[in-house]
Amino acid sequence: MVQDWFKDAIFYEVFVRAYADSNGDGIGDLLGLTSKLDYLKELGVDALWLLPISPSPLRDDGYDCSNYVDVHPDYGTLEDYRTLVEEAHKRGLRIIVELIPNHSSDQHAWFQASRDPAHPEHDKYRDWYVWSDTDQRYADARIIFLDYEPSNWTYDEVRGMYYWHRFFHHQPDLNYENPEVQRAMMRVLQFWIDQGVDGIRIDAPPYLYEREGTSCENLPETHAYLKRLRAFVDAYAPGTMLLSEANQWPEDVVAYMGEGDEMHMNFHFPLMPRIFMALARADRTPIEQIMARTPDLPESCQWGTFLRCHDELTLEMVTPEERAFMWEVYAPEARMRLNLGIRRRLAPLLDNDVRRIQVANSILLTFIGSPFLYYGDEIGMGDNIWLEDRDGLRTPMQWEDGPNAGFSTASKESLSDPVIEDPVYGYKQVNVKAQEADPDSLLNWTRWVLSVRKQHTAFGRGRLHLLSPENRAILAYVRQDKEQSILLLHNLSATRQETTLELPDGGGQLADLLSGEVLVSAASTTLPVALEPYGYRWLKLG
């Protein structure tokens, strides 16, 4: 098996609960997702990342896990999970599941035993969570869910102590000082490998350990534990990819790759808002700035890139001025903002302007790393900012214009989340079936560009050379590996732009990968370029 398959992969993030309901109870499930594998294969993605599927009270859509080694009954059974994997593998699709090591739900049996001195297993579990007599410890750690939590400590009446939590108060942090906890999470990892996985996304890795006088993020102890997880995977199931979600500055994130002995992948969080910033300013500078401080990765590692995901568009890794700008442009209404971010989907963020959606996706698909698409964005789904927390980004997939958008046969009232019905983004207007029939749809465009990307290894494996044309509304770069050199051009502005490029390796033929035409035969190293508003070109050199 190719061990670094993830370098060539296009990932698709799917919220099982909202994707397809196989048994008519109003809730998406694993067999529903299984029934959509042909759609996903045809879309052209290679690996599906499933949001949490384990038992949970669902106060954080499963990131509040109450049993790490089972499937939530809403979603089916472990057998259904294995069926999904088998059917996915038959089609050459890979499956990524979540490991949530930092915290469990307060409903987890471990926490119930830990908090309650009268519990028969209290002695065993008392130190499995981070307990304290005071709420004054670790005062330098920031609060992440600013809109919901006043403190990282919550007082527990039963234990008569405070417990530590970096996220919601119902998600107590596990205590990694305790070797039992270290081993327990390793067994969870082993369990999911045994069920069949191709990769694991590690939720919130920066926060495993706490140390007084620090931000309690990215500590050496945390890295040491993550390296142990990796060593286990390499010994037990080599080729299983570990994808970490460290939402940090690039110089801190590279530590999560170690020397190729920690995580295989990490998302490049700070790049994402800068793609939006560059589009809003019609100026590539923000992208250049973040790449200037992005170190090279170990050869065996890879960035994960994305435009949107199931969380708010995070503005944690920008300056306060940049955040204010982003909020003003992309979240003019208070309800669109959440914590330090923006709770909107891709199409509404970009004013449903297909040119902007396409140019943003073109950057995503051709810049560094392996791209992650968020379910529904391939058809330009909208959001519902009036739902709570991040629920408005997680509404049912819009398959067709029939009842419940074809997501479920249940009555409308019993859907776990309402489908979008507004006049612009509602399922009558925006759905898979209609877009399959329309050759000019966003869905068919997405299928096409994914298929072109897949034919060229330089996108996943090549080096990135940023070019510096005088016209800053043009983002131009070359992706190059041993086989190919591809010149990528993007117009970040709403007006036609021209410039002259200095090509690194001289002129020659340029084949337009998207139109098939042989564009220029330039003998010189300078290339005059004109791009339509939000235009983009993928040009193979030589």
From the CB of 61, what's the least distance to Ca ion, in Å? 15
Helix axis angle, 285-292 to 271-281, nearest 10°: 150
Residue 378 binding Ca ion, by CB under 5 A? no
From the CB of 100, what's the least distance to ligand NOJ, in Å? 6
- Residue 14 or residue 513: which is nearer to Ca ion going by CB? 14
- Residue 262 or residue 417: which is nearer to Ca ion going by CB? 417
Residue 23 site contact among ligand NOJ, Ca ion, none (CB < 5 to 8 Å, cut-off depends on kind): Ca ion
Residue whose entry in the numeric block shows the structure tokens 């139109």:
515
Residue 417 binding Ca ion, by CB under 5 A? no
Q: Which residues pair with 501 in a beta bridge?
A: 527
Residue 25 binding Ca ion, by CB under 5 A? yes
- Residue 23 or residue 500: which is nearer to Ca ion going by CB? 23
Residue 203 site contact among ligand NOJ, Ca ion, none (CB < 5 to 8 Å, cut-off depends on kind): ligand NOJ
Instruction: Go through 323-351 and write b for each residue having 16 or more CB atoms within 10 A of its CB, e for each that does not.
Output: bebbbeebbeeeebbbbbbbbbbbbbbbe
Q: Are 60 and 168 in contact (CB under 8 A)?
A: yes
- Residue 73 or residue 117: which is nearer to Ca ion going by CB? 73
Residue 478 binding Ca ion, by CB under 5 A? no
Q: Are 303 and 370 in contact (CB under 8 A)?
A: yes
Residues lying near ligand NOJ in the complex (CB under 6 A): 60, 63, 100, 167, 203-204, 245, 310-311
Whether 86 is a known active-site residue: answer no
Neighbours of 260 (CB within 10 A): 13
Q: Give the integer Cα–Cα distance in Å for 446 and 462.
A: 22
- Residue 88 or residue 415: which is nearer to Ca ion going by CB? 415
> Three-state SS for 348?
helix
Residue 230 site contact among Ca ion, ligand NOJ, none (CB < 5 to 8 Å, cut-off depends on kind): none
Strands (E), 407-466: 463-466
The residue among 45, 63, 306 whose CA lies nearest residue 172 is 63
Residue 311 site contact among Ca ion, ligand NOJ, none (CB < 5 to 8 Å, cut-off depends on kind): ligand NOJ
From the CB of 25, what's the least distance to Ca ion, in Å? 4
Residue 29 binding Ca ion, by CB under 5 A? yes
Q: Rg for the chain (alpha carbons), in Å?
A: 23
Structure tokens belonging to residue 422? 């507004």
Residue 80 binding Ca ion, by CB under 5 A? no
Q: Are 328 and 280 in contact (CB under 8 A)?
A: no
Neighbours of 160 (CB within 10 A): 11
Whether 203 is a known active-site residue: answer yes
- Contact residue for Ca ion among 9, 10, 17, 21 (CB under 5 A): 21
Which listed range, 5-13, 24-32, 226-234, 309-317, lies at the site for Ca ion (CB under 5 A)?
24-32
From the CB of 167, what's the least distance to ligand NOJ, in Å? 4
Residue 167 site contact among ligand NOJ, Ca ion, none (CB < 5 to 8 Å, cut-off depends on kind): ligand NOJ
Which residue among 60, 245, 283, 417 is the active-site one? 245
The residue among 316, 319, 318, 314 whose CA lies nearest residue 331 is 314
- Residue 44 or residue 172: which is nearer to ligand NOJ going by CB? 172
Q: Are 219 and 248 in contact (CB under 8 A)?
A: no
Residue 414 binding Ca ion, by CB under 5 A? no
Which residue among 203, 217, 262, 312 is the active-site one? 203
Q: Are 87 and 37 in contact (CB under 8 A)?
A: yes
Neighbours of 521 (CB within 10 A): 9
Which residues are part of the catalytic machinery? 203, 245
- Which residues are at the interface with Ca ion (CB under 5 A)? 21, 23, 25, 27, 29
